[in-house]
Copies of this chain bind each other. A is one copy, B any other.
């Protein structure tokens, strides 16, 4: 392994000089800098990450805690993960990926053994056991999601309440009076996942404001789940003409099932959905969508972590405002 001493010798300087060339924390004469950089390049020197972490108590690593669930929307999850990794690299950070099956103890392990400088926690629940732990950790933490009591922790998320309202207003503006929400899997509600409840609340609030008749049903992402969900809705709202779908995984099956039942989109029923950026256009009918900007959220989470590491920024809660992209799946009520 080529070490800083090798570079120093090769360049005819001391190893501290090499270190300063690398970190830029002291001024170095142009000539020396040139020689050192040449040696670094020629020897293919890469600083030993462990040694660096030990000496500087900085790892240049971000820990990302990922849910290990099957009921969650996989593309959205993947969107977070890739955007976090990509954004982190821009700051010369790498990403350590953890699953939350270690529970809160996993956070403690990673933070206390100095494997990462900051924690990004995904899929936080309304009352998440990981929150008190990370608060006690003196390690900057950014939550992707919004718990009931963020306390001193930063949060980023889509403003799901506003997103739901936007969907409802869109349908109301088109004259729909009976609308329904196809929600996430029942399990998502049961464990108190924050975005689901926020969306539901936004939905009902906006519908009440506009004087709409509503129904809302969770929806397991299997064929049976979709069928039951639709049955449930039609019992509660036989005259439903507008559907808000907050369940990416069930979307395809739902559209098939609508056609099975001769409910044409958008002639008989308008459909508006919350789903990952790219997917909306790839359906037989282009869907009216509130995009879920997982890329933006991931990148923002990284940025907030960086600000906290620089020490310049205190924790904050950032909820991105939703856009709605109209397409052919929603229409004026007949």
Chain A 217-242 interface mask (CB, 8 Å, partner B; 1/0) = 00001110000000000000000000
Contact A253 B284 (CB under 8 A): yes
Which has the most chain B C-beta neighbours within 10 Å: A77, A82, A222? A82
Interface residues of A: mostly helix, strand, loop or mixed?
Answer: helix
The smallest beta-carbon distance between A103 and chain B, in angstroms, is 12
Q: How far is the CA of A101 from the CA of B82 in the complex (A)?
A: 11
Q: Are A70 and B113 in contact (CB under 8 A)?
A: no
Identical subunits present: 2
Among residues of B, the one whose C-beta sits closest to the C-beta of A95 is B97
| A61 / chain B contacts, CB cutoff of 8 Å | 96
Q: Are B282 and A256 in contact (CB under 8 A)?
A: no
A53–B283 alpha-carbon span in the complex (Å): 50
Contacts of A282 in B (CB 8 A): 221-223, 253
Nearest chain B CB to A257 CB, angstrom units:
7
- A323 contacts B by Cβ under 8 Å: no
Contacts of A109 in B (CB 8 A): 46
User: A residues touching B (Cβ–Cβ < 8 Å)?
Assistant: 1-2, 44, 46-54, 59, 61, 64, 66, 68, 70, 74-75, 77-78, 81-82, 85-86, 89, 94-99, 101-102, 108-110, 112-115, 221-223, 252-253, 255-257, 259-260, 278, 281-284
